[in-house]
Each structure stands twice: as C-alpha cells, then as structure tokens.
C-alpha cells in the first residue's frame, strides 16, 4: 500500500472512498492506463468486509449449527445438542476472518497495481468546487465518488441516550444480552433477529411495515411464521413515541402506547449515503431526498467531471452492485465510454433461514409496469430435495407475462434458496419463457430443481408427475 505525493500535472482519476466500489473503480481505471489516486479516510475495505457482509454472515453461519442440532430430531432415531460456550471466542474468530480478508482482498491488492496511489486523508470540495484532501488542493481530471453508507438512526426521542446498537456495534458484542429489541424488519433486521435468537437471546422484532415488506407477500407471511416458531416475538407499530432507560435495560414505547422492554436495542432501520461532508453543492453535484447522489445511466453526476457509484447513490445497496457500478463509472470516466447501469436481472439475497432470494419483478411491480401477469406458487413440500431433507419450510414464486409466457421475476424462500437464484437470473437475462425453464434439465434432489417444478406449475399439476418427469 502506497501513500504518495501528487504527481506533476495531477491524476487522471481520483476515487474518493476505499471500499468495494472504490477499489473496483481504481483498479478498472488503472487497467485502462489511467494514473489513479484512491483516497481513503478510515479503515480500508469499506462496509462489506469490515462491518457488513463478512462479519454478519460468519456469525449467522456459526449459529446455524445450534439450530441444526436442535432440529436434528426431525429424523427418527437422531438427537443432538449444541450451545454457545464462549461467545467472545466466536466473535474473535469472526474478527480474525475480517482482518484476513481485509488484507487479502484490499490492502495487499494495491501494490499489484503500479498506477494506483493510495492516499490517506479526507476528501471534499472547496468553496469553488475543486477537490481537496485534508484541505489541500488535489488536482485530478476526473473523479469517482464511492464513499458508501452508514447505519441510519431514526429520530426517536431518547434514542441518543440509551446506548442503542447498530449493525456495526451489534456484531462487536462479546457478551450476549438476555433480551434484545431489533428495530426494523428488512434484510438487516431479519438476519440480526434470527442470529441473536439462535444464540439464546430473547428477541422482539419491531417494525412498522412487517417482515421483509418489499418481498412477495406469500414469502413475507411464511417467513414471519418461521421466525415466530423459533421464539422471536414479532410486533407491528404505527410509529415510535420514545425510548428510555428502564432499570438495567430500556423501554421502547410505540405511538399506540405499546411498551417493549429489553436489555439492548439494535437499530436496523436502513442505511444513509455518506454524501454529507463532501460539500457537493459547491461542485454542482445534486443529491436526492434521502441523500443519495443523483447519477444518470452512465453513473455521471450533475457535474460532468464527476461520477458516483455504490451505496452513496442510495440504490441497490449490495457490494456486488457497488463494484459493478464503479467499474462502469471508471470506464466511462477515463476511457470515454458510455456503458449503462442495468439492474434488471440483479439477484438479491436475505441470509435468513430459510433464505430469501429474488430477481426481476415481483407480481406487484409487474402489474404496476403494465404487464398482464401470470404467477406460479410452489410450496417446498412439492420439491423432492426438501422432502428428503425433512425440511419443507418455504416456497417458490414465479412471475410471467401472460401472452408471451416470458419470465419476469422469481423469489425463493428455502433453506438453500440463495444458491438457486442465479439460475432464475440467467433465465431472465436470456429471456426464457416459463415453458423453456420447465423444459430445462436440472439435477434431481437439488433445491434448484424447484425452479423447474415451479415453472411447470403454471400449466401442470406437478403432483401428477413422477420423479424427474416433465
């Protein structure tokens, strides 16, 4: 990793932010022959490796073992037990993985790219709209902003006084509380509620719109039932009146007068783009109502010399989409290309158990877009893999256009659903009909075979088919 002085004449490209999007932009531009400055402020690597995807999924996988042991008795003649014996050790192992990947995928990568200089400092635009680093002029022909996002703290009276946890600090707990409120039931809230509940914490999941409100309603309803069956208390409120300390814990009061008491509270109420503090207005860069930098299809901001990518744009806040968008931004900035961002076949995953994964349009989105829609809903008890595993939690829903039979979207709720969604993504990208997906050869006793069966369900009763028949 280098920390260099500005070369004579400045850089071809300055990338602000040293997370996944920043690295993607810097490396892409360097490979195109540009001289690049990668400007980082704080821990290198950004959200995913340090405080997001990697640590959360490591702990989710750790507690899966506890659940699998408890559920082993679904097989006759099998019993097992598992318990948390040293949560501090579990968290330390998680942190060791974070540090290993931060080095391997970020810090150790930079020396391999001679055209990239790493600059530690705070970048912002001065009053004239010129780029500075630590208030010193920093000449660069083009700029990519990739400063990521941070956890959102809702404006609840008392929230600043009760030591609320967010998605970062919750993963750093070395001692498990007896009870916990998780505020928000989107991706992060669902994952955290189940993680801590399986580790032995009494969890209440509180939200205003229910579990995974953006998912298909059949999937949200089913997942809510599965979470409840694991002992997670689910509560809907219209809003939040206040939160105060209550003895050794805290008390959250909803607008309807409901009270929820626990030792700790975790905020899982979304993320805020890190666009403030950059003095974007001075550079003529416009942000949206929620702070996301407004970009066009080529990732260019309202300043013709500045592009933006990743969470700071406020959309598709997934690490792989950040890297994808940043690559486009870099090519467009330094190579004069006009590549366009396309999220029409973007797969997404929630690492709950069962996992939730989707791609394309939901039924509601398809109807809103003007499509005449057909849907297929296949319960997992119709999938041989689930029957063999004696775990039929879940379902598969496909959305198609009525006339053409072209697939428009898919969502999966299944214990191994995340690894199957890419097949649906490829089907959408190829423009397949549900008949073509139903005719595709898929291996027996796999979760992905459920996609074939769900496609056949549009016009057939799969219960009337023999194994592998189609």
Q: What is the pLDDT of residues 362-398, one digit of tens each?
A: 999 999 999 999 999 999 999 999 999 999 999 999 9
Band (50; pLDDT cuts 50, 70, 90): very high
Is 249 labeled as ligand-binding?
no
The backbone torsions φ and ψ at residue 159, rounded to the nearest 5 degrees and listed phi first, read: -65, -30
Is 218 labeled as ligand-binding?
no
- Fold classified for 159-269: FAD/NAD(P)-binding domain (3.50.50)
Is 168 labeled as ligand-binding?
no
Residue 422, CB-side half-sphere exposure with 13 Å CA sphere: 3
* CATH number for the domain whose boundaries are 348-462: 3.30.390.30
Mean pLDDT of 32-41: 97
Is 108 labeled as ligand-binding?
no
Region(s) of the chain under CATH 3.30.390.30: 348-462
Is 270 labeled as ligand-binding?
yes
The backbone torsions φ and ψ at residue 300, rounded to the nearest 5 degrees and listed phi first, read: -85, 140
Strand order in the sheet with 240-246: 240-246, 249-254, 259-262
Is 188 labeled as ligand-binding?
yes
Is 242 labeled as ligand-binding?
no
Is 175 labeled as ligand-binding?
no
241-260: per-residue pLDDT in tens?
A: 999 999 999 999 999 999 99
| Residue 470: predicted pLDDT | 57
Is 341 labeled as ligand-binding?
no
d(C-alpha 441, C-alpha 264), whole Å = 50
Region(s) of the chain under CATH 3.50.50.60: 11-49+92-151+272-334, 159-269
Is 336 labeled as ligand-binding?
no
**How do beta strands 36-40 and 11-16 pair?**
parallel
| Residue 463: predicted pLDDT | 80
Is 2 labeled as ligand-binding?
no
Is 148 labeled as ligand-binding?
yes
CATH homologous superfamily for the domain 11-49+92-151+272-334: FAD/NAD(P)-binding domain (3.50.50.60)
Return the number of other C-beta atoms located less than 10 Å from residue 135's C-beta.
10
d(C-alpha 32, C-alpha 115), whole Å = 10
| Residue 1: predicted pLDDT | 38
Band (82; pLDDT cuts 50, 70, 90): very high
């Amino acid at each position: 990793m280098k920390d260099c002085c500005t070369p004579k004449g400045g850089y071809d490209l300055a990338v602000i932010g040293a997370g996944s999007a920043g690295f993607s932009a810097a490396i892409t531009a360097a490979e195109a022959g540009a001289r690049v400055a990668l400007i980082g402020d704080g821990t290198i690597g950004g959200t995913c490796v340090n405080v997001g995807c990697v640590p959360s999924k490591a702990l989710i996988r750790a507690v899966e073992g506890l659940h699998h042991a408890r559920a082993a008795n679904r097989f006759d003649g099998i019993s097992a037990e598992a318990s948390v014996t040293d949560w501090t050790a579990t968290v330390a192992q998680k942190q060791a993985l974070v540090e290993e990947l931060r080095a391997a995928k970020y810090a150790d990568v930079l020396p391999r790219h001679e055209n990239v200089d790493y600059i530690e400092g705070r970048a912002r635009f001065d009053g004239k709209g010129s780029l500075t680093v630590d208030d010193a002029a920093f000449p660069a022909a083009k700029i990519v902003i990739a400063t990521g996002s941070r956890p959102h703290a809702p404006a609840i009276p008392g929230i600043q006084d009760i030591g609320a946890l967010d998605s970062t600090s919750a993963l750093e707990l070395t001692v498990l509380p007896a009870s916990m409120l998780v505020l928000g039931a989107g991706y992060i809230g669902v994952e955290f509620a189940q993680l801590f509940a399986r580790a032995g914490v009494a969890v209440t999941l509180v939200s205003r719109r229910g579990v995974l409100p953006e998912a298909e309603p059949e999937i949200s309803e089913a997942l809510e039932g599965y979470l409840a069956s694991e002992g997670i208390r689910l509560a809907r409120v219209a809003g939040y009146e206040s939160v105060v300390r209550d003895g050794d814990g805290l008390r959250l009061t909803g607008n309807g007068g409901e009270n929820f008491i626990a030792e700790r509270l975790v905020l899982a109420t979304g993320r805020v783009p890190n666009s403030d503090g950059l003095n974007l207005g001075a550079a003529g860069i416009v942000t949206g109502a929620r702070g996301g930098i407004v970009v066009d299809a080529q990732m260019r901001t309202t300043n013709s010399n500045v592009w933006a990518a990743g969470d700071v744009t406020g959309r598709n806040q997934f690490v792989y989409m950040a890297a994808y968008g940043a690559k486009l931004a870099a090519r467009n900035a330094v190579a004069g290309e006009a590549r366009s961002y396309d999220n029409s076949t973007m797969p997404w995953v929630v690492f709950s158990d069962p996992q939730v994964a989707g791609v394309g349009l939901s039924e509601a989105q398809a109807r809103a877009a003007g499509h005449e829609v057909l849907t297929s809903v296949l319960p997992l008890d119709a999938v041989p893999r689930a029957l063999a595993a004696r775990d039929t939690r879940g379902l598969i829903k496909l959305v198609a256009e009525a006339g053409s039979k072209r697939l428009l979207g898919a969502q999966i709720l299944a214990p191994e659903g995340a690894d199957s969604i890419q097949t649906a993504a490829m089907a959408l990208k190829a423009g397949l009909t549900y008949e073509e997906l139903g005719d595709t050869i898929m291996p027996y006793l796999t979760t992905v075979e459920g996609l074939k069966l769900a496609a056949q369900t549009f016009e057939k009763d799969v219960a009337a088919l023999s194994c592998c028949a189609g």
